């Protein structure tokens, strides 16, 4: 199946995102008047209970080590908006260099991960999951550290929920979001660090 990657990226760069429609088979464009943002500054926080896992280095982090497994993990739930067509779209975006997975591992076990798109200095988080407790929470903390190190300016989490709020996520209206998104996508940033 062929996908028009430039049109998809243009849609995301204009503030839209893809989700399965109500039939859970076809994909449609959606937007939100209240957009969830994960702060990349001092406002970012995480539960105190997570400090032990972080201090003990229980997880190793990786980028794109097993992108397909992260898609499968994000879609593996009772109610999911990641239909088969959307899985294929994510794979096509990944092969074109736009979609990435930020993962936590314990040895050879995938513990958790975050799936997202990078456009300029914007990281657009699509979904996250865990297979080992705290795997996705550690991935979130390490992802924010990574985005800071790569000088990203926007972490768009799309829709607010209780889990994101625990990390300091807050909502902005669509007008402010459009402005911040325009500024972020105009930047030249790389999600995958250049080898030294």
pLDDT tens digits along 66-120: 999 999 999 998 777 899 999 999 999 999 999 999 999 999 999 999 999 999 9
**72 closest CA partner among 156, 16, 131:** 131
Please say whether the beta carbons of 174 and 166 come within 8 A. no
Report the CATH fold assignment for 5-185. Aminopeptidase (3.40.630)
Q: Where are the domains of the chain?
A: 5-185
Give the pLDDT score at 1: 46
pTM above 0.85, yes or no: yes
Q: What pLDDT is recorded for position 195?
A: 65
Show Cβ contacts of residue 53 under 8 Å, excluding neighbours closer than 6 positions.
Answer: 59, 134, 137, 138
Residue 30 CB contacts under 8 Å (≥ 6 apart), including other chains: 16, 17, 18, 19
How far is CA 164 from its chain centroid?
A: 12
Query: Residue 26 and residue 15: Cα distance in Å, rounded?
Result: 20
Give pLDDT tens digits for 11-51. Answer: 999 999 999 887 777 898 999 889 999 999 999 999 888 88
């Amino acid at each position: 199946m062929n996908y028009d990657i430039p049109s998809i990226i243009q849609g995301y760069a204009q503030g839209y995102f893809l989700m399965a429609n109500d039939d859970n088979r076809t994909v449609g464009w959606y937007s939100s008047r209240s957009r969830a943002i994960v702060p990349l500054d001092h406002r970012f926080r995480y539960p105190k209970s997570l400090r032990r896992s972080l201090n003990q280095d229980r997880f190793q982090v990786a980028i794109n080590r097993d992108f397909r497994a992260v898609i499968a993990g994000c879609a593996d739930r009772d109610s999911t908006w990641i239909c088969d067509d959307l899985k294929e779209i994510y794979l096509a975006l990944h092969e074109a260099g736009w979609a990435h997975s930020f993962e936590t591992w314990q040895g050879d076990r995938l513990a958790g991960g975050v799936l997202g798109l990078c456009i300029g200095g914007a990281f657009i988080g699509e979904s996250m999951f865990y297979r080992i407790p705290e795997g996705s929470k550690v991935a979130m903390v390490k992802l924010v550290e990574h985005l800071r190190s790569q000088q990203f300016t926007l972490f768009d989490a799309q829709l607010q929920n209780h889990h994101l709020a625990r990390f300091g996520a807050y909502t902005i209206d669509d007008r402010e979001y459009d402005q911040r998104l325009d500024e972020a996508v105009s930047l030249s940033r790389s999600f995958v660090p250049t080898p030294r």
